[in-house]
């Protein structure tokens, strides 16, 4: 075997072996189902399909079109919407489509600040800034870890943005869209909700339903609480055909040429599975997040928004400044095979050395863990971050715990053999 090929294969195998004995708690990741993963290995991944189904610029899309039609139908049913576009290749690309559809350089957009949990694509140095958008941030209630409703309403009436954007990467609580409807109307703005992190919770009825609470368009990625492939999605319940056409043109030819057909097919499998299992899965994610936050709090690890129940999503925000800061704690945890990430908290000024850690329970839930396991996870976390036990000792116990949790749940399987074949290990 070629030396380079052998090296790459070895690293991938080592990665698989490592994650099979780790606790994956990155809030923006998940594991795809066995049947959805099979779609990523098909000939769809080698083909092109520019444009809309049955109106392609290339031949050879007879069956691709049938799959895409079904994916769209599944998403419309799951999210109860009139329009869905499956051609986005990531959540950020979906956001870029909104920028191209609804905003011109110099236009005002209001959004959550980066230090308050927003995604980088809304930042001045991200996609928003590169589009030339004039971004104005909402006032934020740090105690509640949510926007300040009264202050946000006043801001909307004052600056009259072209687009009012909502959504976060540290997304603990639903955005109070209904409370802002009058302000939206007075501002005359479009309302856009980036639901990347909570897309599965929205689909599972466990968070909020932004398109039926005042949002005009919903974008997101499809591999977080919605446990599909690395891909993007754009949804709207608008009856305005001109508005939908603007969104479609922004997708293609705006920000996408070919749209990764294998991932689109895998997304279809994920949507079908979510219609069957999603409500139970989403509910367990939230229960696990609440249980984990409480268990960490009891072990002396400060989880934000304690007075408000810590979280109503998959995510938990921890202030570990007193334990050495986010970068140090995340690094120490990784050595013990507990995979997390450092994260900005509202008072931080450095993304390199923030005081926070962000956790997510969606992948542990996907592997079959429930509230009782969250207590054990919290204990392992505290042994590293609070008690400073040797990393190899904790890693050994993490690996022992994972021996019972290496199979993907909440999904279809062809048969028992298929399930065993696609174990995480």
**Tens-place pLDDT, residues 9-58:** 999 999 999 999 999 999 999 999 999 999 999 999 999 999 999 999 99
Tokens standing for 133?
């958008």
Answer yes or no: is pLDDT of 419 > 70: no
Cis peptide before 253 (omega within 30 of 0): yes
Our measurement of the distance from residue 62's CA atom to the centroid of its chain's CA atoms, rounded to an integer in Å, reads 32
Answer yes or no: is pLDDT of 3 > 60: yes
Q: What is the pLDDT of residue 127?
A: 79
DSSP 332-392: HHHHTTEE-EEE--TT---SSS-SEEEEE-HHHHHTT--HHHHHHHHHHHHHHHTS---HH
Residues 194 and 167: their CA atoms lie apart, in Å, by 5
Mean per-residue pLDDT for 403-420? 77
> Chain-wide mean pLDDT for the chain?
95
Answer yes or no: is pLDDT of 422 > 60: no
Q: What is the pLDDT of residue 423?
A: 46
Tokens standing for 93?
């690309």
Residues 364 and 18: their CA atoms lie apart, in Å, by 15
For 180, 189, 211, 214, 225, the CA distances from 95, given in Å and listed in that order, are: 22, 17, 16, 18, 18
Element (H or E) spanning 135, and its range? Answer: strand 134-137
Structure confidence by residue, pLDDT tens digits, 351-370 = 899 999 999 999 999 999 99
Tokens standing for 276?
């069957």
Answer yes or no: is pLDDT of 420 > 70: no
Q: How many CA atoms lie within 13 Å of 251's alpha carbon, on the beta-carbon side?
A: 25
With cut-offs at 50, 70 and 90, classify the pLDDT of residue 421: very low
Q: What is the pLDDT of residue 415?
A: 55
| Domains recognised in the chain with CATH numbers | 35-272 (3.40.640.10), 278-421 (3.90.1150.10)
Local structure of 156: helix, strand or coil: helix
Structure confidence by residue, pLDDT tens digits, 339-355 = 999 999 999 988 899 99
Answer yes or no: is pLDDT of 248 > 50: yes
Structure confidence by residue, pLDDT tens digits, 176-201 = 999 999 999 999 999 999 999 999 99
Percentage of the chain modeled with pLDDT above 90: 91
Q: What is the pLDDT of residue 121?
A: 79
Structure confidence by residue, pLDDT tens digits, 116-174 = 988 877 778 787 778 889 999 999 999 999 999 999 999 999 999 999 999 999 999 99
DSSP 178-192: GGGHHHHHHHT-EEE
Structure confidence by residue, pLDDT tens digits, 229-246 = 999 999 999 999 999 999
> Which of 96, 93, 165 is closest to 132 using CA atoms?
96
In contact, 201 and 225? CB cutoff 8 Å: yes
Answer yes or no: is pLDDT of 297 > 70: yes
Pairing status of strand 108-111 against strand 163-166: parallel
Q: What is the pLDDT of residue 122?
A: 78
Q: What is the pLDDT of residue 417?
A: 45
């Amino acid at each position: 075997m070629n030396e380079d090929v052998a090296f790459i294969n070895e690293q991938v195998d080592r990665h698989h072996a490592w994650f099979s004995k780790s606790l994956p708690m990155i809030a923006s990741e998940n594991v795809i189902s066995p049947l959805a993963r099979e779609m990523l290995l098909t000939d769809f991944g080698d083909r092109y399909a520019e444009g809309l189904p049955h109106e392609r610029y290339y031949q050879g899309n007879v069956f691709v079109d049938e799959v895409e039609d079904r994916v769209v139908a599944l998403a419309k049913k799951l999210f109860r919407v009139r329009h869905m576009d499956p051609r986005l290749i990531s959540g950020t690309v979906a956001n870029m489509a909104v920028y191209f559809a609804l905003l011109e350089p110099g236009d005002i957009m209001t959004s959550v600040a980066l230090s308050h949990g927003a995604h980088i694509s809304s930042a001045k140095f991200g996609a928003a800034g590169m589009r030339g958008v004039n971004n104005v941030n909402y006032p934020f209630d740090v105690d509640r870890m949510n926007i300040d409703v009264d202050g946000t309403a006043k801001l909307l009436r004052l600056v009259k943005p072209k687009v009012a954007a909502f959504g976060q990467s540290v997304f603990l609580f639903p955005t109070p869209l209904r409370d802002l409807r009058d302000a939206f109307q007075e501002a005359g703005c479009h309302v856009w909700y980036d639901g990347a992190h909570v897309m599965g919770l929205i689909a599972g009825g466990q968070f909020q339903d932004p398109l039926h609470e005042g949002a005009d368009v919903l974008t997101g990625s499809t591999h977080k609480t919605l446990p599909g492939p690395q891909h993007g999605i754009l949804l709207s319940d608008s009856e305005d055909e001109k508005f939908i056409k603007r969104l479609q043109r922004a997708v293609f030819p705006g920000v996408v040429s070919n749209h990764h057909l294998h991932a689109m097919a895998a997304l279809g499998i994920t949507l079908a599975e979510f219609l069957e299992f999603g409500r139970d899965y989403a509910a367990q994610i939230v229960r696990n997040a609440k249980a984990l936050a409480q268990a960490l709090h009891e072990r002396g690890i400060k989880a934000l928004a304690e007075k408000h129940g810590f979280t109503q999503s998959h995510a938990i925000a921890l202030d570990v400044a007193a334990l050495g800061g986010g970068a140090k704690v995340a690094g120490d945890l990784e050595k013990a095979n507990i995979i997390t990430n450092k994260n900005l908290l509202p008072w931080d000024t450095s993304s390199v050395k923030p005081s926070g850690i962000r956790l997510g329970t969606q992948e542990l839930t996907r592997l079959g863990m429930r509230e009782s396991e969250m207590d054990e996870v919290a204990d392992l976390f505290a042994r590293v971050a609070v008690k400073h036990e040797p990393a190899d000792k904790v890693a050994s116990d993490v690996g022992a715990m994972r021996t019972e949790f290496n199979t993907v749940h909440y999904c279809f399987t062809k048969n028992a053999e298929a399930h065993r074949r696609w174990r995480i290990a």
